[in-house]
Chain A
Amino acid sequence: MRTLVVLAVAALTATLAPVARAVDHSKGYPGYCRNATGVTVVVDFQQLGGTTIVRCDPRPTRGTGLDAVKGAGFQIEGVVRWGEGFICRIENRPSAVEEIPVAGDDGYREACRDTPPASAYWSYWHAGNNCQWEYSQWGVKNRDFVPGGFEGWSFSLNATADTNPTPRIAAVRPGTTGQPCDAPDEPEPTTADPNARQPGAAGAQNGAGGGSGGSTETSTAPGRDALPPPKPRTGSPDRAEADDPSGNVAFTGGEKARDVTEVVREQSGASDYAPWAAGGAVVLLGLATWLTARRRKRSREA
């Protein structure tokens, strides 16, 4: 009974839910973070085409990488198999109808069912302010972002572990150019267990990140092990300084991005009337079934 009530509530919520924008402008703000609170999220579409988007998640608390990308207002989609632990689409790219020129797999399209191939996936990077980008050794739910730092998403197409493209935005907040790189050392994963969490990460103490559900989720495991291993890096505390911001590509804050739901509806060729037709057909068939069953029962008893 309670299930029914809850489902009714869920259905109601579904109808009342506000229409999602491509970029949820109620979360975060466009451009770099203005100060050391929060984290700047960079999404670089690379060879998929499209203007790089930079937004800030201004949360003062700690949070996982997933909290950051959601908190900055990006629309993400996880694979069916792993859930949001493995992000396969950001801002509906690569969309379900988009053919990705993957070498050796012509006409590949991302269905977001299973782990994407190692030659076409969203690579996950992070950096402290004024630091060089680093390929994350942890899954998106399993590490905390660096406060005041950067989280990067860069589409890796036909790249190897050594040629994974870094986001083409230098990890430097405006006005802090020239300052030294400050980033805490991240411990490397000690096990191959995909559920392992970075020690002390928000996800390790359930819910401490206060994030939007992602940090408390534990049932799905990000299948990072299917991807090329991260580049071995020296653990020296003095990290490489960030590139010169003058080499940045053009970017927007995602202000003019189109509504993802609308784009998906267009791409899928969905019709507004089809669900009504389906509902009507189900009701009619149910009625016909009931009438036929009654008629046959009567004739059987007669």
Chain B
Amino acid sequence: MLARYFLPRDLHPGAWWVWALGLAVAASRTTNPWLLLTILAVACYVVIARRADAPWAMAFRLYLYLGAFIVAMRVLFRFVFGGAEGSTIILALPEIPLPAWAAGIRLLGDVSAESLLGGLYDGLRLATMVVCLGAANALANPKRLLKAMPPALYEVGTAVVVALSVFPQLAESVLRVRRARTLRGGATGRRFRALHAIIIPVLEDALDRSLRLAASMDSRGYGRAGRVAARARLATGALMIVGLIGVCVGVYATLDGSTPRFLAAPVLVAGLVVALVGFRLAGRRVHRTRYRPDRWRAPEIVVATSGVAVAVAFFATSGVNPTNLNPSLVVLSWPLLSWPPLLGAAVGLVPAVLSPIPEPVTA
């Protein structure tokens, strides 16, 4: 029984996406650096422990670089554009005077510790969310994710999967080109030339690959209009797009505490209803079969549940008390932390233990 549970195999990509989105949603609720760092560490550990040796999985490091870049930029901007919210001035830069029409914009000037920390916390939150998405991309196989899409979502799903896998693909190209350069013993001296020698092959690679993808999709019947009246296609398309836009707005409003509430549940429900009608209509005309579809087994459910549990824990504690999740910067002090959200974040670690290791790649 246990041996079967832990039999090495690739999990359903949806499970990893649910888990990673759960962590990202939790991160979006807080600016507490303790919690954000815990979520980051949890995501990194699970990725390292459970990623396959596939090319898209190796791109995770680039998401970490991107996160570091985001944090650095946020802090830098506090230096450049007015960082004087707060009373602990730690750096007095000369202020650059601006003409009257630019009132409201400040260049340089005093920089306070509070505003720098504010930038750091805010940047850390965005970086954590980006790294969570990177974790999903590293753990879930994008091709199998496309396969798992419901038939009605094929058109939209294809676009989404292609968009989601652009970055991992590019990252993989960069790694490949760099490895090739190293093997050839290419000159590493001049930075500009090195950039030149990486970017052109990468772009060429991307173009080649998308042509190949288009050809393969074409041969598999994607974009097939079938024998459906143009008007019916237009109606289902419009319903689906409008519904999905509604769902996006609703999800955004639900997750962002400062958006007007009437944009949250009502728009979300309305969007879902419209999209479901669209799916029904589209699903009736699209018939596609799947070869050996991925199934949701116990490990998938465990992985997805742990992600959802993290998000729920953060929602619950922020409902009870928001002070913990958004540390105040009025008085400079170590951010407070209570146990419930921290233990909630730790639940995200479950997949590192309670999921099968990926199938070894046979090259």
- Whether the pair A296, B339 counts as a contact (CB closer than 8 A) is no
- Whether the pair A269, B326 counts as a contact (CB closer than 8 A) is no
Interface status of B90 (Cβ within 8 A of chain A):
yes
Those of A269-287 within 8 Å (CB) of chain B: 269-271, 274-275, 277-279, 281-282, 285-286
Chain B minimum-CB-distance residue to A288 = B45
Report how far A13 CA is from B332 CA in the complex, Å: 8
- Whether the pair B321, A96 counts as a contact (CB closer than 8 A) is yes
Chain B minimum-CB-distance residue to A17 = B332
Distance to closest chain A CB from B127 (angstroms): 14
Known: A268-B324, A279-B34, A288-B45. A13 touches B109 (CB 8 A): no
Distance to closest chain A CB from B93 (angstroms): 11
Those of B290-328 within 8 Å (CB) of chain A: 321-324, 326, 328
Distance to closest chain A CB from B84 (angstroms): 5
- Whether the pair A195, B332 counts as a contact (CB closer than 8 A) is no
B82 neighbours in A (Cβ, 8 Å): 217-219
The listed residue with most A CB atoms (<10 A of its CB), out of B44, B106, B257, is B44
Contact with A along B40-80 (1 / 0, CB 8 A): 11101100110001000000000000000000100110010
Query: A6, A15, A274: which contacts B342 (Cβ < 8 A)?
Result: A274
Known: A10-B90, A278-B342. A264 touches B257 (CB 8 A): no
B330 neighbours in A (Cβ, 8 Å): 75-78
Interface status of B225 (Cβ within 8 A of chain A):
no
A15 neighbours in B (Cβ, 8 Å): 334
Q: How many residues of A contact B (CB 8 A)?
A: 58
- Whether the pair B331, A260 counts as a contact (CB closer than 8 A) is yes
- Whether the pair A270, B258 counts as a contact (CB closer than 8 A) is no
Interface status of A289 (Cβ within 8 A of chain B):
yes
Interface status of B81 (Cβ within 8 A of chain A):
yes
Query: A17, A113, A296: which contacts B333 (Cβ < 8 A)?
Result: A17
B106 neighbours in A (Cβ, 8 Å): 206, 216, 218-219
Contact with B along A11-28 (1 / 0, CB 8 A): 001110100100000000
Given contacts A77-B330, A281-B342, 7 further A-B contacts (CB under 8 A): A10-B117, A13-B113, A213-B85, A269-B321, A274-B338, A282-B41, A285-B42
Give the A-binding residues of B (Cβ under 8 A): 34-35, 37-38, 40-42, 44-45, 48-49, 53, 72, 75-76, 79, 81-82, 84-91, 95, 103-106, 109-113, 116-117, 120, 257-258, 321-324, 326, 328, 330-340, 342, 346, 349
Give the B-binding residues of A (Cβ under 8 A): 3, 6-7, 9-10, 13-15, 17, 20, 70, 75-78, 80-81, 83-84, 96-97, 111, 113-114, 195, 206, 212-213, 216-221, 260-261, 264-265, 267-271, 274-275, 277-279, 281-282, 285-286, 288-289, 292-293, 296, 300
